[in-house]
């Protein structure tokens, strides 16, 4: 009876769509079925906070995501707020109930073997566009820099003597990123063909074949297209390569503080999310390899 009145209220006074009203109805019916099946004679006005928490726990045990559980809890909360305003109940049992925290989205990254395959020489031609694209990928993957940092790169910011990049990050903070022999060779090869084949129109390290500094959208398109050669995952952005850099570093026993500095994170907590990624990889390896897993 009360639920029908509440649904009419949503439909007629709040002008909710039929689909939204149906979602509310489904959630409320599910909750009602839960507490009536407890066999304790509970009604809407005798339910307490513990019953709602038990319902949420049951949903989580069945594998429901936190977003789903929170959505259903929101429907129950709305009902009880309505019932309290209409003096149908004396207290709101849902008021003090806190929903589960949303799961943190783990960073998407490209596996090391896939990056090795993509960056191998036999995947590329000797054209300027191919050499530029490959150098872009290597620079992202071996430095962990942001896309805005890459497009703002200038020739004088590349120090071949000390094998390091001088980049300007967020809030104009500068940092030094070292690079290895493979990246040095790739950068040198790129500069050679760039200076031979491209008529420079603007300053910038990475230039289009028309001689203009590459823009962020142009770099994104190159990365997305090239990563599509080795992965089917939907997210294929420069930031995925930044995640791939951090994950590879931690997988090869780099310290968290060192990775933080290389990425330019102000807080170590920001970098710590990559430890969850590497731990997930460890679990997969364990489950696959251990005879009793």
Calpha distance 248→143 (Å, rounded): 11
Per-residue DSSP letter, 10: I
Active site residue 286: no
Active site residue 170: yes
Catalytic residue among 72, 77, 134, 146: 146
Calpha distance 111→138 (Å, rounded): 14
Note whether 57 and 45 are within 8 A (CB): no
Ramachandran sector of residue 44 (left: φ over 0; alpha: ψ -120 to 50; beta: rest): alpha
CB atoms closer than 10 angstroms to residue 210? 10
Active site residue 82: no
Catalytic residue among 86, 95, 117, 170: 170
Strand order in the sheet with 158-159: 158-159, 164-168, 174-178
Active site residue 86: no
List of long-range contacts for 220-227, beta carbons under 8 Å, 24+ apart: 220/147, 222/132, 222/133, 222/136, 223/136, 223/137, 223/140, 226/118, 226/133, 226/137, 227/110, 227/118
CB atoms closer than 10 angstroms to residue 121? 6
Active site residue 242: yes
Note whether 158 and 139 are within 8 A (CB): no
Of 75, 83, 33, 39, the residue nearest 55 (C-alpha): 33
Catalytic residue among 72, 77, 242, 243: 242
Active site residue 213: no
Active-site amino acid positions: 146, 170, 239, 242, 265, 274
């Amino acid at each position: 009876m009360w639920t029908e009145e509440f649904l009419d209220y949503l439909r007629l006074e709040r002008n909710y769509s039929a689909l939204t009203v149906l979602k509310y109805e489904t959630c409320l019916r599910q909750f009602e079925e839960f507490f009536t099946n407890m066999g304790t004679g509970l009604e809407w006005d005798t339910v307490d906070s513990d019953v709602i928490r038990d319902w949420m726990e049951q949903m989580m045990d069945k594998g429901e995501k936190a977003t789903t559980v929170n959505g259903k809890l929101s429907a129950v909360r709305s009902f009880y707020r309505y019932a309290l305003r209409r003096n149908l109940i004396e207290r709101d049992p849902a008021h003090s109930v806190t929903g589960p925290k949303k799961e943190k989205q783990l960073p998407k990254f490209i596996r090391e073997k896939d990056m090795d395959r993509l960056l191998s020489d036999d995947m590329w031609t000797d054209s300027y566009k191919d050499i530029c694209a490959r150098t872009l990928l290597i620079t992202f993957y071996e430095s962990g820099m942001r896309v805005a940092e890459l497009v703002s790169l200038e020739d004088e910011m590349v120090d071949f003597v000390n094998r390091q990049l001088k980049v300007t990050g967020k809030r104009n903070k500068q940092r030094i990123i070292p690079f290895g022999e493979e990246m040095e060779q790739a950068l040198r090869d790129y500069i050679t063909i760039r200076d031979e084949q491209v008529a420079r129109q603007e300053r910038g390290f990475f230039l289009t074949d028309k001689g203009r500094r590459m823009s962020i959208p142009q770099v994104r398109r190159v990365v997305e297209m090239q990563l599509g050669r080795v992965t089917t995952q939907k997210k294929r952005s420069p930031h995925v390569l930044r995640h791939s850099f951090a994950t590879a570093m931690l997988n090869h026993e780099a310290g968290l503080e060192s990775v933080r500095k290389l990425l330019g994170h102000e807080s170590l907590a920001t970098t710590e999310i990559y430890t969850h990624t590497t731990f997930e990889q460890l679990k997969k390896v364990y489950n696959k390899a251990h005879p009793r897993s």
